[in-house]
Structure 1
Amino acid sequence: MKHLTFLFFLLSVSVQAQFQISGIVKDESTKKPLPFATISSNNRATVTDVDGKFLLQDENQIAFFTISYIGYSPKTILGDRNKKYYEILLSPKSENLSEIVLSSEENPANAIIRQAIKNKKDNDPQQKLQSFQFKSYNKLIVSANPDSIDGSIDSVFVERYYGKEFKEVDSTNYKFKKIIDRQHLFQTEKVSQFQFSNKKLKETILGTKMAGLKNPIYEIIAFNLQSFSVYDSKYELFETKYNSPIAPDAFADYRFRILDTVKVGNRDTYMIYFKPRKKRKSSGLEGVVYIDKENYAIAKAIMRIRGVLDISATHEFEYLENEKIWFPTQKEFKIVKGKNDDDIRILGGTIKFEGDLDSNNTTRKKDASDFTYLVSKSYNFDRQQNIPVKIKHPAIYIEVKDDAIKKDDSFWNSYRKDSLDTRSERTYIALDSIAQKERLEKKLRFGRKILNGYVPIGPVDMDLRYLLSYNNYEGFRVGLGGITNERFSNKYRLDGYTAYGTKDGDFKYSIGGAVRVGIFSNSWIGGSYTDDVREIASTSFAIDKRVFKIYDPRPINLSTFYNHKTWRGYIETKILPKTESIWQLTHSRIEPKFDYLYTVDGKSYTNYDMTTAMVSLQWNPFSDYMQTPTGKLEIEKRYPKFTFQFTQSLPKVFENDFTFSKIDLRAEYEKRYLNGQRTALLMEAGYAIGDVPISHLYNTSPNSLTKEKLIERITIAGKNSFETMYFNEFFSSKYVMFQFKHGFKRVTVFKGIKPSLVLVSRMAWGDMEKPEQHIGLNYKTLRDGYFESGIELNQIYKAFGLSGFYRYGPNQLAKFEDNLSIKLTFILNLGF
């Protein structure tokens, strides 16, 4: 799980090398730093960052290095064994771009980028080549440069009214330096095969190895640090998508400037710097692209984001003469510490990054975390192109082979770019030993279960949902339930629960079992028997994933339920690409627990039998999936998502009393913005045809009490419920509902007070066919529509917030205060 990957919290760059120098390049007259100047020595080269800083490494002593920057005279500096930091000043000269035949009125860099955009189809390997495949070796480490860390032991003092008082000895940096001298903090390797054919790209992981874990955390392996292709209109960096500098609308977001003309792979290229037009940090990428002078293809690219974290990604290519195309050969991803004092979320976890200056503008002393970094490097080899490539299971974006975690040393030695150095070897030994001693895998397994609402007890996972709840019909509901886990069997499972209501005085229970019939499709055939109660008209989607909530506020105020004794047989499967589905046959004996009479063809029913067949299907066409030896994971959740459910009663089967059909639909869309805002859209619709009792119709999730005073109606807001609609106020046999939410970035009001403002609007239309059949409940229909809007101030303090909604339109009530609803909100962020 991403929230378990705290090992990735990183923070300033420094990479191991036997010899290295660093420095800064500035304009001689203005003293302003020069970003992306080229620094070269022998066969080594690098570029300065956006602050003009650089780090040059070599296996041999650096005798000299040359600095070049277009528009400036190049300078060669002799190396000094005793000097590690250089401040270099370059003097401007007149630019000479006579070789570029362009209009004098246009920025020459813009014209080059325009050509690169125009020629994308001819230069993108995924557009020009019919097929290709290659293998790739990747190594990811979290580490630090020991030479950067002050290993001294400090004394900590605290201010008292009489002066400073000694508190404790701080040996943090000393211990950290001692550890980092011997090993890295974290390390993982993988070998993959990439295949491309019929416009589909798939990664098959042949081997994977994660320090400290026999069974790797697959979500870490799937984490998308940088885009595979630099030609996509949206470039992804650390799971955030930015407009690409060569997107069709790139000029609306970026400014371009030619920095130099350099050779890449013996071909002449333009070195073009780009930066966002807007100054805010979330507006876009910054970096350099090397554009081939002949075909305007990208020969190298550096993408960067600076903020709380300083994130950079590099793509390198090789020119294929026969195909006239640049093909990717390696890529590198780095995260270092940036400048910010806000909390940020990384890989599902939260960490506090301190700013470089305190409130008194004094320099903060750097600690060990300031020198930690993450670096991931991938090397491609065994490339083949334009040959027949057959991709198995093309709907799966990443597939992990069953034996990928069982590879021996001979496998790794044959694929590693370089043999492991001493620190890397010690990392595996040390972390494996620590993990075994601390029983890390057991703790990770326990953490996964808890966050999904289970407590593992041997071969059974106890379900926390059944322990305690409350509603107006049952009162306090206490119970116990669970399901067998992988320690019991990977092929068979048993599940069940029992509960008791203190107010209605009845026991409820369920028992079931299933057998796994397909590993790749995760297909199960099962059955169950349930004797329980359920809210009336609460039609739900059977395919919806089980969501664990420490609290579930809406059922607290429910009072109208029906009892159902249900036999159920089902098949659940993921066999269809990018779908999950449940196919089931049920027979239920229904007994409403409220005054209700249902009439059909002159016959009245106070209880009834229903036999139905149902298919419930969720389709996520734009999401990416990962197939692991333990199952399928949705690793990249993309919108829109669609859910469909069809229910058909079966006449004359097991004494079925009614004939009807039901169709239910749902569409979800969500867009996240770079500035932290988010827009979510939801549409739900249902249509019941035939003779359907009110227990199985629609109530559109009301969540307001029928109390006179506003203060008496204050409860906790639901997730997608109508906060101003009273319970049992409306029922429908057909309806459609729309919801709009827009959340703004959290704003600090006072210390510890950081509310998140969300604007919400909901609307629904519906009608009731054959209303004369339903006797006993007074209700209205949604024929004229229902409308409410409001605001949520979530997480004002910790998880608690406040919301207010107003009801308007045709169903507005006479008294102003009756249209108002004030609710508490509770959003507990568990990090996923």
Structure 2
Amino acid sequence: MKLFCFLTLFFTLTLQAQIQINGIVTDSNNKPLPFATITTSENNNTITDVDGKFIFKISSSATSLTVSYIGFQTKTIALINSKTFYSIALLQQADDLKEVVVSNENPALTIIKKVIANKAINDPQKKLNNFEYKTYNKLIVTANPDSIDGRIDTSAAYKDLNKRIINIDSSDYKFKEIVSKQHLFQTEKVSQYQFGNNKLKETVLGTKIAGFKQPIYEVLAFNLQSISIYDSNYELFETKYENPISRNAPSSYNYKLLDTVSIRGRDAYMIYFKDKSKHRTSGLEGVLYIDKENYAVAKAVMRIKGVLDISGIHEFEYIPKEKIWFQSNTTFKIVKGKNDDDIRILGGTIQFDGDVEDNFERRKKVASDFTYLLSESNSFDIRVNTDTPIKSSSLYIEIKDDAAKKPESFWEAYRKENLDLKSQKTYLLLDSLSVRNRIEKRLGIGRKIINGFYPIGPVDLDLKKIISYNNYEGFRLGVGGITNDRLSKYFRIEGYGAYGTKDGVFKYSVGGGVLLDKHTNTWFNGYYTDDVREIASTVFSVDKRVFKIYDPRPINISTFYEYVGWRANVQTKFIPKTEAVLELSRNYIEPKFDYLYNLNGKLYSNYIMTTAMLSIVWAPFSNYMQTPTGRNESDKKFPRFTFQYTQSLPNVFENDFTFSKIDFKAEYEKQYLNRQKTGLLLQAGLAMGDVPITHLYNTAPNNLTKETVVQRITFAGRNSFETMFFNEFFSSQYLMFQIKHGFDRLTLFKKVRPSLVLVTRMAWGSMEKPEQHVGPAYKTLDKGYYESGLELNRIFKGFGLGGFYRYGPNQLMRFEDNIAVKISYVLDLGL
């Protein structure tokens, strides 16, 4: 969700940049020199990128630039007023840099090994017990007007011999005119960072987004680059790469000693690194500046160059008292990279045009190719070993209630330099543009659509309720919704109605809730419902609502039970790292299939259940964000555990049965740096006492009882047993385990890049008191159930194909009956 909001802002808003010096450094043969050092007369420095290019902000008092590169003569050039582009050619020198040879091996590798060995004494989060500091961040999306042609192009077309039509394209001209006058998008943020007990917390004191009255919280939580340079994995734009100074990095990277330079008055080695894997065209590369004395990182430049050209720069200041380098400034930049494929993100909502047309000719560059994002953060008020207590330390980010309401005096106190005229115009013009074009409203609509709602005035229409299909109801047509903040922030009303074309019955639900505490998202809710539900299915009340354009598995389900009654619950995130639901319910249950429940000789065709239920999900490693509107999981991490306990209440509201149910789920996902992913799921349930089959367990079957493999082809479920027939097995206690491993996408053709996933599922279970269930014939899982298969997803337009095979004690006699072929569909958001 946060990536959607971030990319929406980046690629749909038109933006602008400041005037700055830029250019390229080459050798005498016009070959670019990557990572050449450029220093101004005021001793400010930068380096060229892998293409020898640089963009450098300088003060008006700077008079010259000095460019140095290992093996080349240092060159100083004078700066000329009004000149913004410099092409600098260096001459090669005969005498190379005199390196200090530490051993017979590559000197750069020797230095890197010392950096790795000294990480514990150089990493502030390892060496220091606690620290705190503040940062001012400014982010703009912009384009350099000097790079844009800005001509008005014309093209001729003839519909007939007598009439000539001239098509005028003025997009580049208009774009250049805009970026020459104003920034088109920018944000500012002031944060306080606190570290203690091995946890780092960010508190957002102030935030300001041009064109938006309310901050976009997902964007504030978006991780552009790693905060620490010493983590084992380095992160750029929410993609993790092996850190070039991680323990195993020497086996993954090549290193080269480029130069020796001075950083903050201390001598440092300048070491270039690059991923060894030749097939990793977008691998991490860059330059590390290593302090000669303590082998700490004094500066770092990290870059990946692919579809997007992304770079992150970390600058540090040295604290003599603690003998440690502490991060002072960071810079993050994204520009469009070189790529021959069209890149579509969010289902085509955001698109990069490839550099090659269908006729394999290089396409003409347009204004959008020069657009880039630049984020700069400056740290100040650094304090170490202060022993200041951290409030709500379980939170990763906390956004103060008044963060979006800070006066201009607040920003003037924290800005490193005053806003220039363009930046001032950006706020004024984008605010009016946002109102005119309803940008904030449109973004809000997009956020709700992703969650399955469409806002219509004070009501959010529930898109999941409009149409669906199953074998019992036929087409289920309906309408539903929930009130939004336009009606009230403190209470909500919700409901739905639906009609089944096959069973001819109307279903409905009405309810509402009252907000008890906004900071912990605590709500008290009540509902009355008359509807149907799949028998023996497991529903965890704390599971997140998942919106799908279609939900394939219910299509084939034919056994349901009707439930009519009320429920009241409390939802809360009061306990850190958890979400919980405590619920009391009373329902009239009627199985809609041939079934009777035998309890002590009495046969029940319908019954009443009054139950109390506690459901809780615990995500100990996830990061949570506290906003003025509540607490959200900003970064989902694994493992995560879900526990649910249900207890019937004897003699309460005419309850018929006494029973208990315990349900448990553990989930784990591991994403590898080579873009592979392994997922593990362990799920179990135990029902004790007198429980009808409607409330036992079926372990999610998803196979039709048909004669041939072709007749059984259906859509695959997410975690269902694809070879298990509906109503084939029932259990009063069960254990299910699933392992999935997905490989990086395979390039078969230019536009065909499927992803291969290997799947294995297994389940064990038993049925207590089978004599109580009269009617359906079923088997038990005492001997276990096993299936494996492979999925080839996203073959074409999100559609894929999978095949599964059933084996083990419950294997069927006919070979073909153990095979299931399934169609898969993945809505590719490009995330």
Shorter-chain TM-score bucket reads over 0.9
Query: For the Cα contact (< 8 Å) 2:111–2:295, is it kept in 1?
Result: yes
Per the alignment, residue 8 of structure 1 pairs with 10
Shift of 1:191: 0.9
Residue by residue over 1:428-460, the C-alpha shift from the partner in whole angstroms, topping out at 9 and shown as x without a partner, is 111111111112222222222222222323322
Query: For the Cα contact (< 8 Å) 2:291–2:298, is it kept in 1?
Result: yes
Q: How many residues get paired?
A: 825
3-state DSSP of counterpart to 1:521: coil
Per the alignment, residue 51 of structure 1 pairs with 51
**Distance (whole Å) between structure 2 residues aligned to residue 597 and residue 715 of structure 1:** 31
3-state DSSP of counterpart to 2:293: coil
Shift of 1:760: 2.3
Query: For the Cα contact (< 8 Å) 1:14–1:371, is it kept in 2?
Result: no
Per the alignment, residue 220 of structure 2 pairs with 221
Per the alignment, residue 114 of structure 2 pairs with 115
Shift of 1:31: 7.2
**Distance (whole Å) between structure 2 residues aligned to residue 210 and residue 615 of structure 1:** 40
Q: Return the letter of the residue paired with 1:7.
A: L
Shift of 1:483: 1.6
Shift of 1:93: 2.5
Per the alignment, residue 726 of structure 1 pairs with 725
Residues 619-768 of structure 1 mapped to structure 2, 5 A cutoff? 619-750=618-749, 752-768=751-767
Per the alignment, do residues 207 and 295 of structure 1 end up closer, same or farther by CA in structure 2, a change over 3 Å counting? same
3-state DSSP of counterpart to 1:410: helix
Shift of 1:767: 1.6
Shift of 1:106: 2.1
Query: For the Cα contact (< 8 Å) 2:613–2:647, is it kept in 1?
Result: yes
Residues 423-572 of structure 1 mapped to structure 2, 5 A cutoff? 423-572=422-571
Per the alignment, do residues 255 and 364 of structure 1 end up closer, same or farther by CA in structure 2, a change over 3 Å counting? same
Shift of 1:361: 6.7
Residues 71-86 of structure 1 mapped to structure 2, 5 A cutoff? 71-77=71-77, 84-86=86-88
**Distance (whole Å) between structure 1 residues aligned to residue 187 and residue 347 of structure 2:** 19
**Distance (whole Å) between structure 2 residues aligned to residue 316 and residue 53 of structure 1:** 20
**Distance (whole Å) between structure 2 residues aligned to residue 563 and residue 818 of structure 1:** 32
Deviates more, 1:464-473 or 1:312-321: 464-473
**Distance (whole Å) between structure 1 residues aligned to residue 322 and residue 406 of structure 2:** 35
Shift of 1:755: 3.3
Per the alignment, do residues 359 and 344 of structure 1 end up closer, same or farther by CA in structure 2, a change over 3 Å counting? closer
Residue by residue over 1:444-489, the C-alpha shift from the partner in whole angstroms, topping out at 9 and shown as x without a partner, is 2222222222232332222222222222222222222222211222
**Distance (whole Å) between structure 2 residues aligned to residue 615 and residue 631 of structure 1:** 22
Residues 280-299 of structure 1 mapped to structure 2, 5 A cutoff? 280-281=279-280, 284-299=283-298
Query: For the Cα contact (< 8 Å) 2:17–2:140, is it kept in 1?
Result: no
Shift of 1:205: 0.8
Shift of 1:735: 1.5
**Distance (whole Å) between structure 1 residues aligned to residue 289 and residue 347 of structure 2:** 34
3-state DSSP of counterpart to 1:449: helix
Shift of 1:343: 4.1
Per the alignment, residue 70 of structure 1 pairs with 70
**Distance (whole Å) between structure 2 residues aligned to residue 133 and residue 737 of structure 1:** 46
Per the alignment, residue 40 of structure 1 pairs with 39
**Distance (whole Å) between structure 1 residues aligned to residue 22 and residue 828 of structure 2:** 44
3-state DSSP of counterpart to 1:58: coil
**Distance (whole Å) between structure 1 residues aligned to residue 13 and residue 39 of structure 2:** 26
Deviates more, 1:188-197 or 1:792-801: 792-801
Query: For the Cα contact (< 8 Å) 1:9–1:346, is it kept in 2?
Result: no
Per the alignment, residue 382 of structure 1 pairs with 381
**Distance (whole Å) between structure 1 residues aligned to residue 410 and residue 384 of structure 2:** 25
Residue by residue over 1:46-73, the C-alpha shift from the partner in whole angstroms, topping out at 9 and shown as x without a partner, is 2122233334453348654333233444
Please, what TM-score do these two structures have when normalized by structure 2? Answer: 0.94
Deviates more, 1:670-679 or 1:509-518: 670-679
Shift of 1:345: 6.2
Deviates more, 1:441-450 or 1:240-249: 441-450
**Distance (whole Å) between structure 2 residues aligned to residue 307 and residue 319 of structure 1:** 34
Per the alignment, residue 207 of structure 1 pairs with 206
Deviates more, 1:422-431 or 1:358-367: 358-367
Q: Return the letter of the residue paired with 1:353.
A: F
Per the alignment, do residues 492 and 353 of structure 1 end up closer, same or farther by CA in structure 2, a change over 3 Å counting? closer
Shift of 1:376: 0.3
Per the alignment, do residues 11 and 358 of structure 1 end up closer, same or farther by CA in structure 2, a change over 3 Å counting? farther
**Distance (whole Å) between structure 2 residues aligned to residue 774 and residue 284 of structure 1:** 60
Residue by residue over 1:633-685, the C-alpha shift from the partner in whole angstroms, topping out at 9 and shown as x without a partner, is 22212122221111122233333332222221112222334444433222211
Deviates more, 1:534-543 or 1:768-777: 768-777
Per the alignment, residue 254 of structure 1 pairs with 253
**Distance (whole Å) between structure 2 residues aligned to residue 56 and residue 91 of structure 1:** 26
Residues 236-251 of structure 1 mapped to structure 2, 5 A cutoff? 236-251=235-250
Shift of 1:13: 13
Per the alignment, residue 141 of structure 1 pairs with 140
**Distance (whole Å) between structure 1 residues aligned to residue 352 and residue 387 of structure 2:** 50
Query: For the Cα contact (< 8 Å) 2:458–2:483, is it kept in 1?
Result: yes
Per the alignment, do residues 278 and 161 of structure 1 end up closer, same or farther by CA in structure 2, a change over 3 Å counting? farther
Query: For the Cα contact (< 8 Å) 2:15–2:140, is it kept in 1?
Result: no
**Distance (whole Å) between structure 1 residues aligned to residue 245 and residue 753 of structure 2:** 37
3-state DSSP of counterpart to 2:91: strand
**Given the alignment of the two structures, is residue 97 of structure 1 paired with residue 96 of structure 2, yes or no?**
no
**Distance (whole Å) between structure 1 residues aligned to residue 50 and residue 366 of structure 2:** 24
Residue by residue over 1:500-556, the C-alpha shift from the partner in whole angstroms, topping out at 9 and shown as x without a partner, is 223323222222222111111111122222222111101211111122222122212
Per the alignment, residue 402 of structure 2 pairs with 403
Shift of 1:11: 13
Per the alignment, do residues 132 and 158 of structure 1 end up closer, same or farther by CA in structure 2, a change over 3 Å counting? farther
1:87 to 89, 103, 108: 89
Q: Return the letter of the residue paired with 1:398.
A: I
Per the alignment, residue 304 of structure 1 pairs with 303
Residue segments in structure 2 that go unaligned for 5+ positions in a row? none
Shift of 1:750: 5.0
Query: For the Cα contact (< 8 Å) 2:108–2:255, is it kept in 1?
Result: yes
Please, what TM-score do these two structures have when normalized by structure 1? Answer: 0.94
Query: For the Cα contact (< 8 Å) 1:283–1:674, is it kept in 2?
Result: no
Residue by residue over 1:670-704, the C-alpha shift from the partner in whole angstroms, topping out at 9 and shown as x without a partner, is 23344444332222111222222111111111111
Deviates more, 1:276-285 or 1:316-325: 276-285
Q: Return the letter of the residue paired with 1:570.
A: N
3-state DSSP of counterpart to 1:112: helix
3-state DSSP of counterpart to 2:656: coil
Q: Return the letter of the residue paired with 1:393.
A: S
Residues 319-338 of structure 1 mapped to structure 2, 5 A cutoff? 319-338=318-337
Residue by residue over 1:106-152, the C-alpha shift from the partner in whole angstroms, topping out at 9 and shown as x without a partner, is 22222222221122121111222222222211100000111111010
**Distance (whole Å) between structure 2 residues aligned to residue 681 and residue 816 of structure 1:** 28
Shift of 1:714: 2.1
**Distance (whole Å) between structure 2 residues aligned to residue 302 and residue 712 of structure 1:** 58
Shift of 1:87: 2.6
3-state DSSP of counterpart to 2:411: helix
**Distance (whole Å) between structure 2 residues aligned to residue 473 and residue 198 of structure 1:** 56
Query: For the Cα contact (< 8 Å) 1:287–1:304, is it kept in 2?
Result: yes
**Distance (whole Å) between structure 2 residues aligned to residue 283 and residue 332 of structure 1:** 20
Q: Return the letter of the residue paired with 1:646.
A: Y
Query: For the Cα contact (< 8 Å) 2:706–2:712, is it kept in 1?
Result: yes
Per the alignment, residue 24 of structure 1 pairs with 25
Residue segments in structure 1 that go unaligned for 5+ positions in a row? none
Per the alignment, do residues 280 and 185 of structure 1 end up closer, same or farther by CA in structure 2, a change over 3 Å counting? farther
Shift of 1:351: 4.0
**Distance (whole Å) between structure 2 residues aligned to residue 56 and residue 473 of structure 1:** 67
Shift of 1:350: 5.9
**Distance (whole Å) between structure 1 residues aligned to residue 342 and residue 233 of structure 2:** 26
Query: For the Cα contact (< 8 Å) 2:735–2:765, is it kept in 1?
Result: yes
Per the alignment, do residues 650 and 57 of structure 1 end up closer, same or farther by CA in structure 2, a change over 3 Å counting? closer
